[in-house]
Chain A
Amino acid sequence: MPADGQSHVLNGAARRALDAMERTGKSTLEAVSGFGYGAALFFECIYWVFSGKRRRQPVRIPMVFEEMMQIGIRALPIVTILSLTIGIMLAIQGIHTLKLFGAESRVTLGIALSITREFAPLITGILVAGRSGSALAARLGTMNINQEIDALRVMGINPVRYLVAPPLIAMLVMLPALTFYSDLVALLGAGIYVSLDLGISFTAYTDRVIDALTMDDLMHGLGKSAIFAGLITLVGVVNGAGVKGGAEGLGRATTRSVVQAITAIVITDMLFVFVVTR
């Protein structure tokens, strides 16, 4: 605060209120500029994907595959465990609830819809945000602190093209793919429980699921997961690129990227559902 006359005239309460307002304004500005930066990054990545070759700054396909490996394939075990568990959990809860109405046999409809439309994309999104979004933030943050991003720039290599485009593409492909896989595994888990508990055959369960599901339900879930993919990547990149204050700042940025990505996922999910289903 400048040591001019005015600040001395204000009493404590007014000054604190002003300070609070200033802080609110600053963080709002930061949030807005974060959004803008994220959007700009997204379009810059698209630009490099399509015209990188012409400008001799191509997005490297092997790097995209490497990211796909990290984001997608390496996440398969944990996605399997979580999806299977959630499928079984949904079956238990569904049967328990429907017992009240004596309508246990209708449980497959509820399971099929809630898994494909909501649980699989949400769980996979949150998982990948925790696994890969944070890793991205940490990697970019470290590179930022070590001047590696400056080094890329002075080498004439565009950092967005080299560091952001590959994970973005990989995420946009792998998150829907993982979500689809999660659909299958969760339905399998639920099917095992349902067929054991209600004494119907697994084939009958599968038939009912296929009857209950429309392409629309499946695409609803997969479409959402593509949006989540963009959000996770951009939140990770914005936080990683903005790291200040060494190792401590890096830790904060990593944590923040996970919290923000999950928040963004859940809010976007709600908005998406609101817009699409009404």
Chain B
Amino acid sequence: MANEAQNVEERTVIEVEDLVTHYGERQILNGLSLSVREGEVFVIMGGSGSGKSTLLRYMLALERPTSGTVRVLGQDIVNCPASEIYELRKEMGVAFQGGALFSSMTVGDNIRLPLREHTDLDATTIRIMARLKLEVVNLAGFENLMPAELSGGMLKRAALARAVVMDPKLLFCDEPSAGLDPVVSAALDQLILRLREALGMTVVIVTHELESAFSIADRIVVLDRGNILTIGTVDEVKNSDNERVQSLLNRQTEVEELDPDAYLRRLLEDTIH
């Protein structure tokens, strides 16, 4: 019985194996492997250029990797036909960094769009369901505003409402607290946790904000230059003896390695004919 409970707890919803990706000629991810368990809040952390946003794009099947596999809800999203990815996406909600609300539609229309496109519900039901989600994110009454009329925090909340309107099994948030003041950002973190409780979702969050990450994460993966530095619970990451992790946590700038030959080569490149 205990064993079975453990199994349930350990069920993975996202599995990334040996993921290698390139942007043009440049290699961005160097063979990452990780898994996200059902029901947890999984935070992908790292500095700028660490590859954390890239990792998210591959989890969402927005790009094709050079090699490696990504499985979401048991489905291999690298090698499966587009139609199955479209079906799978109905189980996923995504809140993008800038909200990515459609600027030509009202907030209400934005939130109703997935329901309109994917369900046969009548207009009234759709309206009520969208309002329910707006209530959850405290945006009741803002239905008829255009996204341009909302503040940054409200935009992110509206994006969250749109992401969860189909009651997805998986919620992805890209930099939920970027560009927000600490109070609003903390409120947004609480909102994400509340949503998880209410809808029983697994949540994957990409962020570079330490405080936010530590306050909501069940597990954290720290990325650096396309590699995994460490992966584990909040305490495990805090107590990690990895030098790069500690310098990231303590906001120390890394000591640049000095290589005089490489330095001279960079200075002289393209000048000697």
Contacts and interface: CB of A to CB of B under 8 A. Distances in A.
Interface of A: 1, 3, 7-8, 10-12, 15, 55-57, 139, 142-143, 146-148, 150-151, 153-158
Given A148-B100, A151-B101, A156-B118, 16 more contacts: A3-B265, A3-B269, A11-B273, A15-B273, A143-B102, A146-B103, A147-B96, A147-B100, A148-B102, A148-B103, A150-B94, A150-B96, A153-B89, A154-B60, A154-B89, A154-B172
13 contacts: A1-B269, A1-B270, A7-B270, A8-B272, A148-B102, A151-B94, A151-B100, A153-B89, A154-B60, A154-B172, A155-B114, A156-B86, A156-B117
A99 to B, nearest CB: 54
B117 A157 contact: yes
Given A10-B273, A15-B273, A146-B103, A155 B89 contact: yes
Given A8-B273, A15-B273, A142-B103, A154 B265 contact: no
Q: Would you list the 6 A-B pairs with minimal beta carbon distance, nearest first? A: A156-B89, A151-B100, A147-B100, A154-B94, A147-B96, A156-B86
A147 B97 contact: yes
A158 B117 CA distance: 11
Given A3-B265, A156-B89, A147 B98 contact: yes
Between A146, A148, A155, the greatest number of chain B beta carbons within 10 A of the residue's beta carbon is seen for A155
Given A10-B273, A154-B62, A146 B98 contact: yes
A155 B100 CA distance: 12
A154 B86 contact: no
B83 interface: yes
B113 interface: yes
B92 interface: yes
A146 B100 contact: yes
Nearest to A151: B100
B90 interface: yes
B4 interface: no
Nearest to B82: A158
B265 A155 contact: no
Nearest to A162: B117
Contacts of B60: 150, 154
B102 A155 contact: no
A1 B94 CA distance: 39
Contacts of A7: 270
A151 B269 CA distance: 42
B87 interface: yes
Contacts, number: 65
Which size class do B's interface residues fall under?
20 to 34
B152 to A, nearest CB: 14
Nearest to A1: B270
B230 to A, nearest CB: 28
Interface in B87-143: 87, 89-90, 92, 94, 96-98, 100-104, 113-114, 117-118
Contacts of A158: 86
A56 B113 CA distance: 14
A151 B92 CA distance: 11
Contact of A155 (B87, B104, B113, B272): B113
Contact of A12 (B104, B172, B273): B273
A138 B86 CA distance: 27
Interface string B241-273: 000000000000000000000000100011011
Nearest to A15: B273
B86 A57 contact: yes
A12 B92 CA distance: 55
A155 B89 CA distance: 6
Given A3-B269, A147-B100, A153 B117 contact: no
Contact of A55 (B57, B83, B90, B96): B83
Contacts of A146: 98, 100, 103
B62 A150 contact: yes
Nearest to B89: A156
Contacts of B101: 148, 151
Contacts of B96: 147, 150-151
Max chain A C-beta neighbours (<10 A), residue from B57, B103, B265: B103
Contacts of B172: 154
Interface in B62-77: 62
Contacts of B270: 1, 7
Nearest to A158: B86
A12 B273 CA distance: 6
A35 B92 CA distance: 34
A11 B97 CA distance: 48
B100 A150 contact: yes
Nearest to B104: A139
